[in-house]
Structure 1
Amino acid sequence: MPKHSGEQMLQEKYNTSKRAAAFYNNQMLDCLNPTMKEFISNQEMVFISTSDRHGHCDSSFRAGSPGFVRVVNNSTVMYPEYRGNGVMASMGNITENPHIGLMFIDFFESRVGLHVNGKAYICENKELDTLNLPKEDILDIEIKEGKRAERWVVIEVEEAFIHCSKHIPLLEKKDKSKKVQSTGGDFFKVKQSKIDSKMKS
């Protein structure tokens, strides 16, 4: 059953309680089953959502080689934090509010999504042994990640459920080596917008 009173209130208001109950009973788990674990291990991307202590939200995107999000066990997953823009928005939120939502979507084959919600914390590389990972997993991390993973975000799973394929597009992978027009790190011309704003003021 839902943990959020808002869900229950709107289910009653819009008369969807019966459908929702069927979903909770048939589609939602409080851990990962083998099919979910295999699905995660095949994904190259995940969308993440976090918020700070005041509820101000942030969404972000993480990507890597297939299986970069690692399944530790039925109730724990972890993903690497690579070098980025240095803002630390998502991890900053996690230090204030551990609740996190992960959204895996297979755009290329099944067109199915998997929601994984839970509580997160930051784990430094030197602390990985606290997760009691098998030696072969530690070795695999060292081989595949090298020094790219600056640290890890570990998620204790509380909810896992499907996102149906109805409106998920089927995409085709393209060769990333082909050159495309780019304006570097300021694609949206923010710097110029700030200059223009100062000139107008």
Structure 2
Amino acid sequence: MALGRPQAIKETSVSENFQDGFYPDGLPGDVSVVTDEAALRAMHKEPMTRSTDKVLPALDRHCRAIIAKSPFCLISSQSDDGADISPRGDPPGFVRVIDKSHLLLPDRVGNNRLDNAANLLKNPKIGMLFLVPGMNETLRVNGLARITDDRRLLDPCAVKGRAPITGLLITVNEAFVHCAKALQRSELWNPDVQIQRNELPSYATMLVDHCEGLTQAESDRQGKIMAERGLY
């Protein structure tokens, strides 16, 4: 579960275009929810066989090819305290395919929260989603993760002379390609729909609103330290 305690939300205006949700007065108390899987499935058409039968117990050549081209993935984990998901990125192929059943994900320099790592020590189940720029299909991998500090595995992952301190050694239980619809609808790779970064506040400014007692000057100071640490 993520570190820190929930903070009261500061009602600051992000932009003139900001609008409240569908119910500015709060979610209705009588909102309808679905609690039964059979009822849920009755609301949807039967899945096609190529959706139900595509799950592999290990990485085949197509899975390995996608991982080799992927510069970005998301990892998810869960413990009794809650769930977490976080991004991982590096040059394409940064997640190493050791064999058809094992992956190595180097842990690069970050914020040292260790949210997913702490979860995985308690519950090793992990989910991964691999993306390849220009490709609308994605690769999903589920398995079990261990944290490794084995230099035989990690030293070959060095970038700019710096090897990761630890990495995730993942045993693959399931792997399958996910269809393109989500990325087609979102136009994720379409540069024409990308925002200008100044349409939203800077990361440092957002954190001033999110962290109790944090000033803009202190946020900028900490950001400078993180930048000086570099990417590796």
Structure-1-length-normalised TM-score: 0.72
1: distance between equivalents of 2:137 and 2:115? 28
Residues 10, 120 of structure 1: alpha-carbon distance in 2 compared, 3 angstrom cutoff: same
Identity level (%)? 25
SS of the residue 1:153 aligns to: strand
Residues 154, 20 of structure 1: alpha-carbon distance in 2 compared, 3 angstrom cutoff: farther
Residues 41, 22 of structure 1: alpha-carbon distance in 2 compared, 3 angstrom cutoff: closer
Identify unmatched segments of 5+ residues in structure 1: 1-8, 130-137, 174-179, 197-201
Query: What's 1:23 paired with?
Result: 51
Judge conservation of contact 1:125–1:150 (CA < 8 Å) in 2: no
Judge conservation of contact 2:71–2:131 (CA < 8 Å) in 1: no
Within 5 Å, which residues of 2 pair with 1:90-109?
90-106=116-132, 108-109=133-134
Aligned residues: 171
Residues 70, 172 of structure 1: alpha-carbon distance in 2 compared, 3 angstrom cutoff: farther
1: distance between equivalents of 2:64 and 2:163? 24
Give the letter aligned to residue 24 of structure 1. Answer: T
SS of the residue 1:91 aligns to: helix
Judge conservation of contact 1:11–1:20 (CA < 8 Å) in 2: no
1:111 correspondence with 2:126? no
Within 5 Å, which residues of 2 pair with 1:33-52?
33-52=60-79
Residues 193, 120 of structure 1: alpha-carbon distance in 2 compared, 3 angstrom cutoff: closer
Judge conservation of contact 1:83–1:148 (CA < 8 Å) in 2: no
1:146 correspondence with 2:161? yes
Give the letter aligned to residue 156 of structure 1. Answer: T
Give, in angstroms, the shift of residue 171 of structure 1: 1.3
Identify unmatched segments of 5+ residues in structure 2: 1-35, 192-196, 215-232
1:152-178 superposed Cα distances (whole Å, 9 cap, x missing partner): 1011000111211112034157xxxxx
1:10-55 superposed Cα distances (whole Å, 9 cap, x missing partner): 2575246952665232x11010101110110111010010112x16
1:156 correspondence with 2:171? yes
Judge conservation of contact 1:119–1:155 (CA < 8 Å) in 2: yes
Query: What's 1:76 paired with?
Result: 102
Judge conservation of contact 2:107–2:168 (CA < 8 Å) in 1: yes
RMSD of aligned Cα (Å)? 3.1
Give the letter aligned to residue 100 of structure 1. Answer: I
Give the letter aligned to residue 39 of structure 1. Answer: I
